[in-house]
Amino acid sequence: MTVGIGGSPSEGWNVTSTLALWEEAILQETEAGPILCWERQVDGALVMLRQGWEHELTLVRGIGPVMARRLQEAGYRDLAALSRHPRFGPAAEAVRVALAVGDVKVLRRAGMPPEGLVSFFPATSIAFLDIETVGLARVQPVFLAGVLLWRSEGWKLYQWLARTFDEEEALLRALLTALGGVQVLVTYNGRAFDEPHIAARLAIHRCVPPRFACHLDLLAVARRRLTTHRATGQLPNLRLRTLAGVLLGQDRSGDVDGLLVPDLYWAFVRTQDARLMAPVVAHNAADVLSLPQLMVKLGLAQGHLTVPVLRAWPGAGEMTVP
């Protein structure tokens, strides 16, 4: 399925001042009270790819890498051929049919990883997510969440900011509402951080966390597919900001350092100075919009994608906390 994603920096993202950014926000009502929200239309195109899983013999129960190599040497080069095998034939045929009809339950039981499963879901059921928190421990609140979703009019980027710690519940409830109906969650390090952190914070507010049919953590995919880049020194680390610069060609030199984000939020809560949050909102948006681009670079999707220009907030990278 082909749907829109991306967008030119000149088409709505390049705000000229912190005041302009704040004026574009609305107060979204939730069961826990209002929450500051940004909603932006995002243009472009994204096509999910299915990557030759019909040749992956290890999807058949009882076949590991060594056995798969032996079977291929014996002429069983794909599942169709393997379906004629006297021992593995019935299981191979079941997996082959599941691939043909997109039976995700069978494919998951067969051991297909999330990067394979995601291609069997419509793009309309995918959400790209990134959160900002006051600290890494799950007792620390979520104060900013960004999510890219498909709506009837196209892709939309939503961001919610808690102006005080008391607004965290409203933020989480707004996020829950937005994720309603989402089957696939795409994150970067989200299995270890974002999803469990959100679940822990929701539990504190007596809310039931969302459940997804598939969670694609692009950090896990990057670790498997970028070994050559790491070995040759092209990638000094696998931080999303590093991948955005090296693989996606993004200039994020003006981006706020992620380590400074919690301190900026504490200062914002004390002072309510909107200038402190403008670079953090931009940082979060850039991270969210980098995720579909990274999927393209990792060979999971096709599309022409761009992200907002962070230099809309001059000096963000050098910001200090009052």
Q: Residue range 1-30: average pLDDT? A: 53
pLDDT in tens, 74-105: 999 999 999 999 999 999 999 999 999 999 99
pLDDT at 44: 75
Between 195 and 260, name the one with better pLDDT: 195
Q: What is the pLDDT of residues 234-254, one digit of tens each?
A: 899 999 989 988 988 887 777
- What homologous superfamily does CATH list for 2-49+120-312? Ribonuclease H-like superfamily/Ribonuclease H (3.30.420.10)
Q: Contact 132/144 with Cβ under 8 angstroms?
A: yes
With contact defined as beta carbons under 8 Å apart, do 144 and 284 qualify? yes
What's the one-letter identity of residue 155? W
Q: Report the percent of the chain where pLDDT is more than 70.
A: 87
Every domain of the chain with CATH number 3.30.420.10 lies at 2-49+120-312
pLDDT at 201: 97
Task: Evaluate if residue 55 carries a pLDDT over 60.
Answer: yes
Q: How confident is the model at residue 304 (pLDDT cuts 50, 70, 90)?
A: low
Q: What pLDDT is recorded for position 82?
A: 97
**pTM of structure:** 0.87
Is 79 in contact with 99 (CB distance < 8 Å)? yes
Rg (CA), the chain: 22
**CA distances to 20, 87, 90 from 84, in Å:** 65, 9, 8
Query: Would you say 212 and 154 are in contact if contact means Cβ atoms under 8 Å apart?
Result: no
